[in-house]
Structure 1
């Protein structure tokens, strides 16, 4: 029964940011010539006996290469809430893009959970095409391949339960193996959508983000996310600065750095 499931704490950690315009985030652009910054997050799911990290971000070197403002190492951000990356046993990679799958060597004891379709794509013939390969870092993919040879990668084939109270769900769309995470918390089922929706507005206005492998799958993914969350306020997009505004920090010194997602939002604005 659902009442018997463990309840996890969930945190978003902001590790990088970049300036951008509204036109950058919607297929077809946007009629408003206005700023719409993009934040970069990793997430932590904390239970009494198990901690799961969702995505591992990118390094300062990759930030410099791609013109992003690197605020802190994601592994260092985890320490702010008492998590030692070296002791993490499970890492979920929602997809293999550079901003979600870097820094894996900083998690030397972790088993990595990724969709098989994602690894097949990242290692396959389409990486010859710059327009498709641009969002991937070759060294991140190579690192994941090495971890597989070391027996540390679990390949998901569709939806799967990671453990009671945490499940992984294949959405596709943004990438062929795009997955999101559903977590049982004190306020109900929270969905870490990652890049199924970069911004709240992608879902709410049903306006797709322009980096897309399969547009119908992306649109269907919004419905899957909403169906598996207890409400629209239980859906956490992958890059929206509003996450930091809507949810409280664990303590005042972490405002703008860490948001706690298993508690009710401060507002819906």
Structure 2
């Protein structure tokens, strides 16, 4: 509560055109509190943002489970506010001619305002390969049918030294962990190579992969939506295609290791 009070006070004094928060646990909790104090609108889970005429922000938000992309505007109230999904913005090249100003603000916070207390700090084990940092991501979906079937994704990822991801159904079935889910309710990634196995390609998933360098899809349904966004598509049985590909990669790696002095 003290953080939202302080931010709202600063915004009232500085009168910025826009305030953007990351769509994280902290950002998603803090942003609506600040917006309510400022009596302005807030767009959550924004996957893209564009600057329109007269400083109006065009905020792109998935709707109806990711089946549509809505454009949200806030023309009558200021500041314009949004929570942005981490990873959706490309890192620009440095422009050393530009300089930002950091303004240090000191505020008093009373004990009564600090309602939360830290009782214990528990460190989670680090992710083996964070999806956002991986050059190669191999992901699986409902088409793999079972936890055992999903192992072909993990085996291919191991052969490629890649990160493992998946869809909402894969998470619901317990095949992946929450930090591995890609798409509207998960992570937005942009690896150099993305391999989708048994993934139909509904918008709520593909919104998280569209900026990948190369997208390869394997699916036995030739009409699957994933083939509309991929660069290379294989119409076939993933349980035949992927093990053969994994075996070939292992053989190539083994041959390379033998040639090394």
When normalised by structure 2's length, the TM-score is: 0.28
Query: Which structure has the larger Rg?
Result: 2
Give TM-score, length-normalised by structure 1: 0.27
Structure of higher RCO (CA pairs closer than 8 Å, 6+ residues apart): 1
Higher helix proportion: 2
